[in-house]
Amino acid sequence: MVWAVLALAVACGALLTVIRANRFTEKAEHDTPPVGQFIDVDGIPIHYIKQGSGPVLIMIHGAGGHVKDFTFDHVARFAKNFTVIAFDRPGHGYTPVLDRPGANLDRQSQLIIQAALKLDIKHAYVLGFSYGGALALHMATHCKDFVKGLVLVSAVSMPWPGKIHLNYRAMSKPFIGPALMAFSTAFFGDSYFRTTYATVFKPHKAPDGYLDHVGVNMSVRFRSFVENARQLNSLYPQVIEQSKLYPMLDIPIELIHGAADTSVPSDIHAQEFIKIVPHANLVVVDGMGHGTHQLAITQIEAAVNAMRQ
C-alpha cells in the first residue's frame, strides 16, 4: 500500500512538472514571438531576420542565444551599410531541435549556408559571438568560397583546459537533462533566470532594457536548454579538429575579447588564435567580461568596418 501511494505521488509530481514546464514554454513564446521569417532547408524551418542592403553580414548568436540578441542594437546599426541576416541556430529561438545527440558545427554550418544560398546569397562576411564564433570559424575553414571575412566576438576558437560546467554536462544527458530542466522551469521564478542570465555581463550590468528585449525565458525553455547543453558538451573535439585548419585562413579576421572574460578567457582563445593566424587583429577590452556582444558595440562596429576594407 505504501509503495502504491509513493508511486502515485511520484507520478502526480512528474505530471505536474511537465504541465508547468510546458506552460513556462508557452508563456515564453507568447511574450517573445518570432520577429522574422522562416525558410525551409531540408524540411527544417529556419527562423531568420533580414534587413538593409549592400554586402551581406551574417550574425551568429552564442550558446543559449537567438536572433533577438542582434535586434537590440546590431541590426539597425549595421543595416545602414550591410544586408544583415541573423539566423536562429538549431534548438534556439524558433529553429527546432534537430536530433538527440545535438547539432554539431558541420550540420549547423551546412544549414546556414544552404539557407543563405536559398536567399540568393553566395558570399558573406560573418560575425560570430561565443559559440557562434566557433561556428563562424567552421564555416570559414570548411566553406572558404562563401566566407569573405570574420568578426569573432568573445569567440570559442581554441581547445581549453578542463571540462565545461557541470550543469551543462548534466543537462546533456538523456532523460536526466530534460527532467532536471523541466523541473527548473516548472518551479523556479522568472527572477531566478533573469539573475542567472545577467551574470554573462559581469563585472558589468546588462544594458538597460536588454533583458526585457531578448526574452530571457526563451533561452531556458527546457527543450532548448537541453539542446544547447548537448551542443556545448560535444564542442571540444570539434574545436580541436578545426583548429588544425586555422593556418589556411587568409581572409580578413577581427577579434574582440573582454580581458575579464572568465567564460571564454582571452588568453586561452583569442591570444592563442592569433599565434596561429598572425594576420588577425585582436582588440582586448580592459575590464570587460563575456558580454562584449552588447557592451563593446563601438569596438565591434570598428572591427566590421576594418574587416570590410
Is the previous residue joined to 203 through a cis bond, with omega within 30 degrees of 0? Answer: yes
Query: How confident is the model at residue 100, as a pLDDT?
Result: 65
Amino acid at 297: I
Residue pair 254/151 in contact by the 8 Å Cβ criterion: yes
Q: In this prediction, what percent of the chain has a pLDDT beyond 70?
A: 94
The residue written with cell numbers 566576438 in the block is 153
Sheet holding 281-285, edge to edge: 37-41, 44-52, 83-87, 56-60, 124-129, 147-153, 253-258, 281-285
Q: What is the mean pLDDT of residues 253-278?
A: 97
| Helices 105-118 and 131-142, axial angle in degrees (round to 10) | 70
Query: How confident is the model at residue 20, as a pLDDT?
Result: 85
- Between 88 and 4, the more confident residue is 88
Q: What is the mean pLDDT of residues 146-156?
A: 98
Judge whether residue 309 has pLDDT over 80. Answer: no
Judge whether residue 5 has pLDDT over 50. Answer: no
Task: For residue range 202-254, list pLDDT tens digits in order.
Answer: 999 999 999 999 999 999 998 898 999 999 999 999 999 999 999 999 999 99
Q: Which CATH number belongs to the domain containing residue 34 in this structure?
A: 3.40.50.1820
If one counts the domains in the chain, the total is 1
Range of the domain at 240: 2-308
Confidence of residue 7 (pLDDT cuts 50, 70, 90): low
Judge whether residue 3 has pLDDT over 60. Answer: no
Handedness of CA 136, 141, 147, 149 (dihedral sign): positive
The DSSP line for 3-24 is HHHHHHHHHHHHHHHHHHHHHH
Confidence of residue 101 (pLDDT cuts 50, 70, 90): low
CB-count burial class (<10 Å; 0-12, 13-18, 19+) for 97? middle
Handedness of CA 81, 286, 167, 216 (dihedral sign): negative
Residue pair 261/159 in contact by the 8 Å Cβ criterion: no
Q: What is the mean pLDDT of residues 13-19?
A: 74
Q: What is the mean pLDDT of residues 247-266?
A: 97
Using alpha carbons, select from 158, 129, 139 the residue that is nearest to residue 239: 158
Query: How confident is the model at residue 190, as a pLDDT?
Result: 83
3-class SS at 149?
Answer: strand
Residue pair 31/227 in contact by the 8 Å Cβ criterion: no
Judge whether residue 169 has pLDDT over 90. Answer: no
Query: How confident is the model at residue 24, as a pLDDT?
Result: 87
Query: How confident is the model at residue 16, as a pLDDT?
Result: 72
The DSSP line for 206-248 is PPTTHHHHHTHHHHT-HHHHHHHHHHHHTHHHHHHHHHTTGGG
Judge whether residue 185 has pLDDT over 50. Answer: yes
Residue pair 70/59 in contact by the 8 Å Cβ criterion: yes
Amino acid at 222: F
Calculate the average pLDDT of the chain.
Answer: 91
Phi, psi of 121 (to 5 degrees): -110, 120
Judge whether residue 1 has pLDDT over 80. Answer: no
Strands 44-52, 37-41: pairing kind: antiparallel
Please state, in angstroms and as integers, the Cα–Cα distance from residue 266 to each residue in 65, 126, 245, 248, following that order.
21, 20, 20, 22
Q: Determine which of 12-26, 34-48, 155-169, 222-236 has the lowest per-residue pLDDT on average.
A: 12-26
Q: Determine which of 1-15, 149-163, 182-196 has the lowest per-residue pLDDT on average.
A: 1-15
